[in-house]
């Protein structure tokens, strides 16, 4: 309680405005309601194009060429008075065979790439946005 001043009047208090409804916390019942997702679907026309995995074809060709060259080298015996061993001959033939296999695989993958592009088509993609 406030005491009256010398003139006998009560001091004025600052008016306190109540908080607006927007700042008030939401009731507990509203927080328990599940959120219903909104799904928006849009359809887009897309071009489907097949491609060649060039890395796999090139690595496969190099490995296959090296293996074939090593096996071919093992079929021929090394003379007794040769300045190289069988391991050296197999190694150099593996390098040369791998390079040849890599070149052949490169040409093969280019041809496969042209053939795969002929098989392109058109499809419909559906994009769904969930909010």
Average pLDDT per block of 10 residues along the chain, 131 residues long: 56 52 56 79 88 94 97 90 91 97 97 86 89 82
Residue 61, pLDDT score:
97
Residue 30, pLDDT score:
57
Query: Cα separation of 26 and 84, whole Å?
Result: 89
Residue 49, pLDDT score:
85
Residue 48, pLDDT score:
85
Domain locations along the chain: 50-130
The secondary structure of residue 33, as a DSSP letter, is S
Residue 70, pLDDT score:
95
By three-state DSSP, how is residue 34 classified?
coil
The full DSSP string for 11-25 is PPPPP-PPPPTTTSP
By three-state DSSP, how is residue 23 classified?
coil
Mean pLDDT of the chain: 82
- Give the Å distances, CA to CA, from 129 to 14, 42, 124: 52, 9, 16
């Amino acid at each position: 309680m406030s005491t009256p001043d010398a003139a006998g009047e009560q001091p004025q208090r600052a008016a306190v405005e109540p908080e607006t409804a927007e700042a008030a916390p939401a009731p507990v019942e509203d927080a328990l309601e599940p959120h219903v997702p909104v799904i928006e679907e849009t359809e887009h026309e897309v071009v489907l194009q097949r491609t060649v995995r060039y890395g796999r074809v090139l690595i496969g060709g190099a490995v296959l060429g090296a293996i074939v060259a090593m096996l071919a080298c093992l079929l021929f015996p090394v003379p007794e008075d040769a300045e190289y061993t069988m391991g050296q001959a197999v190694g150099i033939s593996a390098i040369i065979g791998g390079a040849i296999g890599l070149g052949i695989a490169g040409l093969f993958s280019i041809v496969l790439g042209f053939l795969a592009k002929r098989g392109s088509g058109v499809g419909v993609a559906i994009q769904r946005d969930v909010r």
